[in-house]
């Protein structure tokens, strides 16, 4: 059954491997904190003016969600919750692109794969 539990996309920050996973709780928190739909928030990663703030917000939520998820029901977790300042210290010019890439991969891994046999794909309606 453990093989069915999603682990997320690995990202090394501050010498520690973390796993980015867009859970429903994380998505809700990102949307609540940003006041925007998740798709709009993630689009902010490609805008030079908003990319750093967007990455900081998304990583803050995803990293803290990982700690809470791993600690759920009294399980032992060696990871600690982080704040925005800590996220800023973890991100450097050397790992910024890797962090954005891992975040986008984690976001993309939660999207459904296109189905070539789906009759609804082109016209938006099923053939009768």
pLDDT in tens, 49-87: 999 999 999 999 999 999 999 999 888 889 999 999 999
Chain segment 93-116, per-residue pLDDT in tens: 999 999 999 999 999 986 656 655
Contact assessment for residue 82 and residue 63, using Cβ atoms and an 8 Å cutoff = yes
pTM above 0.85, yes or no: no
pLDDT score, position 128: 46
């Amino acid at each position: 059954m453990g093989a069915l539990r999603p682990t997320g996309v690995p990202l090394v920050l501050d010498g520690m491997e973390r796993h980015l996973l867009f859970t429903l709780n994380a998505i809700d928190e990102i949307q609540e904190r940003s006041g925007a739909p998740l798709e709009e928030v993630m689009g902010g990663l490609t805008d030079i003016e908003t990319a750093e703030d967007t990455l900081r917000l998304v990583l803050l939520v995803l990293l803290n969600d990982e700690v809470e998820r791993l600690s759920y029901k009294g399980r032992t977790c060696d990871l600690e919750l982080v704040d925005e300042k800590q996220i800023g210290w973890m991100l450097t010019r050397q790992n910024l692109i890797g962090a954005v890439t891992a975040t986008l991969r984690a976001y993309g891994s939660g999207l459904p794969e296109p189905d070539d046999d789906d009759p609804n794909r082109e016209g938006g309606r099923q053939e009768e």
